[in-house]
Amino acid sequence: MLWLALHFPLLPLEALPLRQSPSAVVARGRVQVADAEAVAAGVCAGQKLSTALGLLPWLSVFERCAVREQQALDNLACWAGRFTPTISLVSPDTLLLEIGGCLRLFGGAEAIVMAALAGCAEQSYSTRWAAAPTPLGAHWLARAASGRMHPETAGMQAALAVLPCAVPGWPEEVTKRLESFGLRQLGDLHKLPGAGLRRRIGNGPLDDLLRAWGELYDPQKSFAFPESFAIAIELPSRVEHAEALVFAGQRLFAALAGWLYSRQLLVRRCSLQLTHDDGPPTSLALNFAEPAADEGRFVRLLREHLSRLHLTAPVEALRLQADELVDKPGISAPLFEQATAGEGTLACLERLRARLGEGAVLALGEMADYRPECATRAQEVDFNFGRFSRSTVEAQKTGRVVANSTPSRPLWLLPTPQALPERAGSPQWHGPLKLLPRAERLESGWWDEGEGGATGDVRRDYFVARNPLGQWAWVFRNADGWFLHGLFA
Of 156, 178, 213, the residue that ends a domain is: 213
Model-level pTM?
A: 0.70
Say yes or no: 146 and 47 in one domain: yes
The answer to whether residue 456 is domain-embedded is: yes
Say yes or no: 143 and 55 in one domain: yes
Question: DSSP label at 364?
Answer: E
pLDDT tens digits for 126-176? 999 999 999 999 999 999 988 999 999 999 999 999 999 888 888 888 888
Say yes or no: 41 and 187 in one domain: yes
Question: Which has the closest alpha carbon to 14: 141, 127, 139, 142?
Answer: 127
Say yes or no: 311 and 163 in one domain: no
The answer to whether residue 220 is domain-embedded is: no
CA distance 272 to 252: 9
Say yes or no: 186 and 240 in one domain: no
Q: Directed axis angle between helix 246-263 and helix 295-308, to 10°? A: 150
How many angstroms separate the Cα of 399 from the Cα of each of 39, 362, 393, 412, 416? Answer: 66, 15, 16, 7, 7
The answer to whether residue 322 is domain-embedded is: yes
Provide the Cα torsion 132, 134, 135, 137; round to 10°. Answer: -70
Q: What is the CATH number of the domain that holds 292?
A: 3.30.1490.100
**What's the number of domains the chain is made of?**
3
The answer to whether residue 468 is domain-embedded is: yes
Say yes or no: 247 and 285 in one domain: yes
Of 183, 213, 243, the residue that ends a domain is: 213
Say yes or no: 176 and 246 in one domain: no
The answer to whether residue 371 is domain-embedded is: no
Say yes or no: 175 and 126 in one domain: yes
The answer to whether residue 223 is domain-embedded is: no
Say yes or no: 171 and 114 in one domain: yes
* Domain coverage including residue 251: 230-328+343-351
The answer to whether residue 8 is domain-embedded is: yes
How many angstroms separate the Cα of 266 from the Cα of each of 75, 79, 329? Answer: 18, 15, 9
What count of Cα atoms within 13 Å lies in the side-chain half-sphere of residue 467? Answer: 16
pLDDT in tens, the chain (489 residues): 899 999 999 999 999 988 888 999 999 999 999 999 999 999 999 999 999 999 999 999 999 999 999 999 999 999 999 999 999 999 899 999 999 999 998 999 999 999 999 999 999 999 999 999 999 999 999 999 889 999 999 999 999 999 998 888 888 888 888 888 888 899 989 998 888 888 888 899 899 999 999 999 999 999 999 999 999 998 888 888 888 899 999 999 999 999 999 999 999 999 999 999 888 899 999 988 888 899 999 999 999 899 888 888 999 999 999 999 999 887 666 666 665 665 667 777 777 878 887 777 777 777 777 778 777 777 777 655 444 444 433 433 333 333 444 457 887 888 889 999 998 888 999 999 999 877 888 887 777 776 656 677 788 899 999 999 989 999 999 888 999 999 987
SS (H, E, C) 338-360: CCCCCCCHHHHHHHHHHHHCCCC
Say yes or no: 64 and 201 in one domain: yes
Say yes or no: 66 and 163 in one domain: yes
Say yes or no: 245 and 203 in one domain: no
